[in-house]
Structure formats: C-alpha cells, structure tokens
Structure 1
Amino acid sequence: MSDFSDALSLSSSGLQAQSQRLRHLSENIANSDTPGYRRKTVAFETVLRGETPGAVETGRVRLDPGELEQIYDPSHPLADESGTYAGSNVELVIELADAREAQRSYEANLKMFDQARQMSSSLMDLLRR
C-alpha cells in the first residue's frame, strides 16, 4: 500500500503547487493595469517527504525585475513632469499561456491522483474476495 500512498502524496503535492501558481497568475492578470505593479513569479522546488522523493512545493514568490512600461498620460495623477508614469510589467499573453500550462498540469496531477485511488480501490476489492 505504500506505493499507492506515495503516488497519492506526489500527485497531491503537484496539485497544491499548481494551485498556488494559478493563484499568482490570476493576481498578475487582475493587476495588469495597476500602475507600478510588478509581475509575480513562483518556482517549484523538489522536496523529500518521508521516503518519497520527487514531491514538489512552491518556493519563494519573486517579483519580476523587468522594466515597467512607461505610459504617457499627462492627466494621470501619478504622472511626473514629463507626463509619464510607470505601468506594470505584466504581459497578458504570457500570463494566459502560463495559466493554460498550469491548468493542464493540474489536470494531469488530478488524473494521476484519481488513477491511483481507483487502483487502490480495485486492489482492496480483489483482496476481499
């Protein structure tokens, strides 16, 4: 039964990590028009849980050091003397592509979790006979 619980643990860690990633991606998308907002990125780290290598968790959230877009709008309250202000460095196309990748990875982990659960249940049914 240890192999089944290991598979469930691994897929569960993947589900949690992708869920965190999707949360940060949605924050980026929601704040794409917020002046001065820097894109958040999160990295995955492999951890050792008990005897099971390969589990993942999210690392520290980092702010993208890329240049902020300079927007010309002299009537904006944050505009400086030249009429520009710092926008965000969020690119919606990149965020949507990352969100799709995270969603598919989440679904793959969910299928793996369900498959391990079904196999465990089938094994229990066989052992009862």
Structure 2
Amino acid sequence: MAELGNSIDVSASGLRAQALRMRVIAENLANSDSVAKTPEGDPYRRRVATFAAEVDRASGATQVSVKSIEADKSAFGRIYQPGNPAADGQGYVEQPNVNPLIEAADMKAAQRSYEANLNAIESARGMTMRTIDLLK
C-alpha cells in the first residue's frame, strides 16, 4: 500500500509542476505584444520553467520539483514602427521573444503531461479501492 501512496505523491508533484508550467506559458502568451515604453527599455522577455528530480527522504520516491523560472536569452525581434514611442533612432521597435506557435506546442505538451499524471492518480486510487474491497 505504501507504494501506491508513493505513486500518488509522485504524480501529484508532476501535476503541480505542469500546472506551474502552464501558468508560465499563459503569462508568455499574455505578454507576447508587450513592448518597452521607451527606446532604451527591453520588451517582455519569455520565461521558461525548468524542473529537477528530487528524492523525498521520507518515502524514497523521486518527485518533480521546480528548479527555476528563467528568462529566455534569445534575441528580440524588430519591427519598423517609426511612430511608436519605443522606436529607436532608425524607427525600429524591439518585440518580445515570444513565439505563439512554440507556446501553443509547449502548452499542449504540458496539458498532456498533466492529464497523464491525473490518470496515474486515478489508477492508483482505483487499485487502492479494489484492494480494500478484497480485504473486506
């Protein structure tokens, strides 16, 4: 029975990790048009959640933990908008380094991982219930 509890804990840590990943992706999408207010400023910089495996000392199970949420260091795009207050001397405005197609693909992957962890919890719960029924 302890192994089933460990599997639920591991899957729950995966749920938390993927939920955080989806929040970061949603933030990226929400800010995909956020440019700087001045020519010297930077536009919104895409953020990426990274994860690490962490051993739970009490159970010995390996769980997922958030390692960090880091800024993507890729280059900003540039678009010609000479009337924009954030335009530089040549009339170009730096755009956020957020690609909506990449964010959509990342969101779909996070959603699938979330669903897989949820299914694992449901399976462990079902096995626990069947075990209890057998012991009656």
Query: Where on the TM-score scale, by shorter chain, does this alignment land: which range?
Result: over 0.9
Q: Determine the structure 2 residue equivalent to 1:40.
A: 47
1:26-65 equivalent positions in 2, closer than 5 A = 26-35=26-35, 36-49=43-56, 50-65=58-73
**Distance (whole Å) between structure 2 residues aligned to residue 91 and residue 57 of structure 1:** 26
Q: Is 1:122 aligned with 2:130? A: yes
Matched position secondary structure for 1:52 = coil
Structure 1 unaligned residues grouped into runs of 5+: none
For the aligned residues, what is the CA RMSD? 0.9
Mapped partners of 1:80, 1:108: distance in 2? 47
* 53-62 or 113-122, which deviates more: 53-62
Cα deviation 1:52-97 (Å, max 9, x = unaligned): 3321011111000010111210111111221112110000111100
Q: Percent identical across equivalent pairs?
A: 38
Aligned twin of 1:69: 77
Name stretches of at least 5 consecutive residues in structure 2 with no aligned partner.
36-42
- Distance in 2 (CA, whole Å) between partners of 1:105 and 1:12 is 12
